[in-house]
Amino acid sequence: MACPAAHPRLTLTLSLTLTQVSDLAVTAGDALVYDLNLNPVGEGTVTIQVPTNSISDVATNFNDAASNVLTFVFDTTNPTVAVSTPTASYTKHYPIEYVLVFSETMFSVTAADLTLTGGSTTDGDIVEDPANTFTVQITPDDEGVVEVSLLQDAVTDLALNGVEASATLSWTFDTTRPDVVLTLTLTLALTLTQVLTISVTEGQP
């Protein structure tokens, strides 16, 4: 059946107040297509449905069944991230674990998103859990300082809002054992005194 030339009446059921619902284009063909510009007044979940008896053809035949429900989340808030505080600034253990806890669900976090010096990681070293937490295993390049951060907008939430910059964490990776030297000094006085000195030289990277 050919589509009527005149626009049918259309009523939408919306879950959120809109500042504007404008009709961008109406295309008449075998099916009549409405493109609507929806502007929510605030963040949140928006659902849209055409209810029963709310759209008619030019012969005033109304729809006898409600449409499916479309849902989307309007989100303009930038996500934030908290990072794990190292239990010690010096470590001999590796890989070093770096934990990112985001304020909301993120699109993804990959190795390329991290700003890392003195070490490396791969996408396979990053594990996500359901609580918006990503655990990253970092392998030091060598002894010395390993530093990692997440720059502003490096990753996004599901609505593509960029993340706020994280704090920068650093560790000193040190696997060199300290050296110990004993020296004995004899002092002749009224009594003979022996002074034992233990010198420890810390082997630092």
| 157 belongs to the binding site for Ca ion (CB under 5 A) | yes
Residue 107 Cβ vs Ca ion, minimum distance, rounded to whole Å: 11
| 71 belongs to the binding site for Ca ion (CB under 5 A) | no
- Of 34-42, 57-65, 111-119, 166-174, the segment contacting Ca ion by CB under 5 A is 166-174
**Tokens 């392998």, located at residue:** 139
Residue 150 Cβ vs Ca ion, minimum distance, rounded to whole Å: 16
Residue 43 Cβ vs Ca ion, minimum distance, rounded to whole Å: 8
Q: Which residues are paired to 79 by β-bridges?
A: none
User: Which CA distances in Å does 180 have to 28, 76, 110, 172, 203?
Assistant: 89, 60, 44, 22, 10
| 75 belongs to the binding site for Ca ion (CB under 5 A) | yes
| 203 belongs to the binding site for Ca ion (CB under 5 A) | yes
| 77 belongs to the binding site for Ca ion (CB under 5 A) | yes
DSSP 94-109: SSEEEEEEESS-BS--
| Among the listed residues 52, 65, 55, the one whose alpha carbon sits nearest the alpha carbon of residue 3 | 55
Q: Which helix (H) or strand (E) holds 70?
A: strand 70-74
Nearer Cβ to Ca ion (28/158): 158
Q: DSSP character for 41? A: S
- Of 44-52, 105-113, 117-125, 197-205, the segment contacting Ca ion by CB under 5 A is 197-205
Summarize as ranges the residues that interact with Ca ion (CB under 5 A).
Answer: 75, 77, 157, 161, 174, 176, 203
